[in-house]
Amino acid sequence: MDFRYLGNSGLKVSEIIYGNWLTHGSQVENDAALACVRAALDSGITTFDTADVYANTKAESVLGEALKGERRASLEIFTKVYWPTGPGGPNDTGLSRKHIMESINGSLERLGTDYVDLYQAHRYDVETPLEETMQAFADVVRQGKALYIGVSEWTADQIRAGHALAQDLGIQLISNQPQYSMLWRVIESEVVPASKELGISQIVWSPIAQGVLSGKYKPGAAPPEGSRATDEKGGADMIKRFLDDEVLTAVQKLQPIADGLDIMMAQLAVAWVLANDNVAAAIVGASRPEQVESNAQASGITLDDDVLKAVDEALGDLPETDPAQTKSPSARVV
């Protein structure tokens, strides 16, 4: 496993991060979740990403239980705040001071730790003054409950404003967590240049496009039984944008590229996002330990310019590149 610095900080993370969105406490049973975490640790992964909203807090509890007994200083544990949790009361969502301060305490209890390495704003809150949000994050850091601050799916302008306030408050905003893959490249034109300028790294989610870039979904064929496309708990909704026959046909053209490198298509997809020098790590999820082990092997794979060009030629103009696709809800969801 290779490691990279997160932003301009001194914090190193494994370039493959294990994430438990749509799995722990939801899609897979606890025994399988524990086995996946053990496979991640055995593969050299030291960084784990979750959020309080995943399975309405259950995912944090499962991850905390899975990491119990591990040396805390040898791990990097990330979580997030914004989306509704609990019974969904008027203050159970957003980035208000009240919700942030209550959420960090709940997350630490569920994770079984005194602090998280990175606390992330899961979306931008248009209904709370940014100054209030950043002051609350600064207090969380000063209380020792988080070491660094990050954001997720913020636009370039939002990142700039947040970074400026963080500097004024003497805390480090070091990361953004966007969706990014061969098929979803909306961060490249605005978010990445702004982040490079500010010393902020990307921690990308869905590098395999919900599994589509693994090649297992075939044009004109029904999704494999038990796959994310058949999951009615949320997975099917997220993947449907990629299940177009034109997209699936183009994805099959990536198989010869992977074969030429003697790697799997999913490993090619993860290595592709890691080829972007502003990406510090790729988050991978799994429902089976062997998926974790396979994806972890993408660490250290170097793709030369000819390979990157071949990927672009295979996919043509199908990848989404519109920076306006990076957006947060226009109002809090309660």
Task: State the burial class of residue 299 (Cβ atoms within 10 Å of its Cβ: 0-12, 13-18, 19+).
Answer: buried
For residue 330, tell me if it sits in a domain.
no
Residue 283 domain flag:
yes
pLDDT at 229 over 60: no
d(CA 159, CA 138): 16
pLDDT at residue 226, rounded to an integer: 55
DSSP conformation class of 153: S
> What's the whole-number mean pLDDT along residues 91-104?
97
Report if residue 217 sits inside a domain: yes
Predicted confidence (pLDDT) at residue 291 exceeds the cutoff of 50: yes
Q: Residue 66 maps to which CATH number?
A: 3.20.20.100
Residue 334 within a domain:
no
Number of domains in the chain: 1
Residue 187 scores a pLDDT above 60 = yes
Average pLDDT, the chain: 92
Is 332 contained in some domain? no
pLDDT tops 60 at residue 23: no
The pLDDT of residue 19 is: 95
**Residue 129 backbone phi and psi in degrees, to 5:** -55, 135
Output the pLDDT for position 283: 97
pTM over 0.85: yes
| pLDDT score, position 223 | 66
Does 230 have pLDDT greater than 50?
A: no
Q: What is the mean pLDDT of residues 151-164?
A: 98
Q: How confident is the model at residue 33 (pLDDT cuts 50, 70, 90)?
A: confident
Q: Is residue 55 predicted with pLDDT exceeding 50?
A: yes
- Alpha-carbon torsion angle 158, 159, 160, 165, nearest 10: 90
Nearest-angstrom CA–CA distance, 78 and 149: 10
Nearest partner of 198 among 166, 228, 227, judged by Cα: 166
Q: Catalytic residues, which ones?
A: 54
Kindly state the DSSP code that residue 320 receives in the 8-state scheme: B
Q: For residue 312, what pLDDT is reported? A: 98
* pLDDT given for residue 332 in this prediction: 76
Q: State which residues form the domain around 107.
A: 3-325
Q: What is the rounded distance in angstroms from the CA atom of residue 303 to the CA atom of residue 242?
A: 24
Which residues on neighbouring strands pair with residue 19, listed in sequence order? Answer: 49
| Residue 1 burial (10 A CB sphere; 0-12, 13-18, 19+) | middle
* DSSP SS3 for 89: coil
